[in-house]
Amino acid sequence: MQDKDYMQMAAQEAVKAEGMTWTNPLVGAVLVKNEQVLATGYHHQYGREHAEVNTLAHLSDPKEAQGATLYVTLEPCSHYGKQPPCCKKVAEAGIKRVVIGQVDPHQIVAGKGIKYLESHGVQTEVIGGTENLNVAYNFFYRQKRPFVTLKYAMSIDGKINAAGKTRTLLTGDAAQIDVQRLRLQNQAILIGANTLRIDNPLLTVRIKNLPQPPIKIVLTRDANQLDFSSQIFKTRGEIWLLSTTNLSQKVTENVHCYTAANWTPTKIVQFLAEHEIQSLLVEGGSNVQAQFVAAGLADEIVTYVAPLVLGGTGLPAVFGQPAATKSDYQLLDVKRFNQDIRIRVRRKEC
Ligand code: AOF
Ligand code: ZN
């Protein structure tokens, strides 16, 4: 096994906590000596022990770490946050070499962990290959705003529903499970008031029991006009209403209304950045998504294409706003889910 193989193993550890760590990154680690894996571990949940500490805790005898190599997907931290600095624990354990997937873009660490290790006689090497574990986390600390993903399902002829006013189920079970994974990978999910009215979605993650499910955000002109018997208001977790007028009555504990004169995508993204939201999934509708595209704020677009032709007057995907900003995308991948396909593209600058 080579360094990159052990790093791959560490990455597999990291993803076990998908959806559980916001606003912390996913981090995994593998401890190796004489080509033997001594222990593995990962960061399980926001506020809890870091990957390095969990890995060391799996050793039957702490002395085993002496002279070993630690593979960790992110630079060991150097600060006192909710947890003590990992670089100190790693050096104290007698680890000889630390192979790192990526440098931590968070300013409180950003190379200081590596510096500490080096100055305490621990060799370090950054080999790359783990940036994809934390696309939104990395983007957030580099660009100072959340990473925005648009998701929609459409027919072969590019329509998202049949007649414009009804919900049309386009994709099959496998694609729908994949959407669940997409929700799991995002800290917040946004829809417009029309989507709430027409689709009445749950916006929940049903494939994992999350202590903090993604925040559900509804963009509306007047929060008082929303139908509070909609399914979303019966779900667990925070619900934020972005409205131009304040709510005249309290709904439930988990519903918060924020007002602004005009909630443009730029304003929304700025507001979310101030609330430390690192990733946003925009699930609809067509016009809300077009606004994000027009503003140049659709960083990734995930399109599911189902094998049917709706024709007629169905609503087209991403429709109703002039594309003020031209964004160049590159193809990430194409994947088949039984009868449906998923196409993922990402802005070239991301
Ligand atoms: C690591 N290993 O497993 C994680 C790291 O408040 P704290 O103490 O939990 O610190 C959170 C910060 O620590 C987070 O923003 C990131 O910079 C780093 N996360 N570091 O060495 C880990 N989760
Ligand atoms: Zn740490």
Ligand 1 binding pocket includes 214 (Cβ within 6 Å)? no
Nearest to 9 by CA among 104, 108, 99: 99
Q: Return the structure tokens found at 345.
A: 């593209």
Nearest ligand for residue 54 CA:
1
Alpha helices in 43-134 (DSSP H): 51-57, 86-92, 112-119
Ligand 1 binding pocket includes 276 (Cβ within 6 Å)? no
DSSP percent split of the chain into helix, strand, coil, nearest 5: 30, 25, 45
Q: Going residue by residue through the chain (350 aa), what tens digit of pLDDT does each one get?
A: 999 999 999 999 999 999 999 999 999 999 999 999 999 999 999 999 999 999 999 999 999 999 999 999 999 999 999 999 999 999 999 999 999 999 999 999 999 999 999 999 999 999 999 999 999 999 999 999 999 999 999 999 999 988 766 778 899 999 999 999 999 999 999 999 999 999 999 999 999 999 999 999 999 999 999 999 999 999 999 999 999 999 999 899 999 999 999 999 999 999 999 999 999 999 988 999 999 999 999 999 999 999 999 988 888 898 888 766 677 899 999 999 999 999 999 999 88
Nearest ligand for residue 10 CA:
1
**Count of C-beta atoms within a 10 Å radius of residue 150:** 25
Distance, CA 2 to ligand 2 centroid (Å)? 24
Ligand 1 binding pocket includes 27 (Cβ within 6 Å)? yes
Q: Return the structure tokens found at 216.
A: 């559900």
Ligand 1 binding pocket includes 192 (Cβ within 6 Å)? no
In the annotated binding site, the residues are 50, 77, 86, 153, 183, 195, 199, 203, 206, 283
Does the annotation count 49 as an active-site position?
no
Number of residues that make up the chain? 350
Alpha helices in the chain (DSSP H): 3-14, 51-57, 86-92, 112-119, 135-143, 173-184, 193-199, 265-274, 286-294
DSSP code at position 26:
P
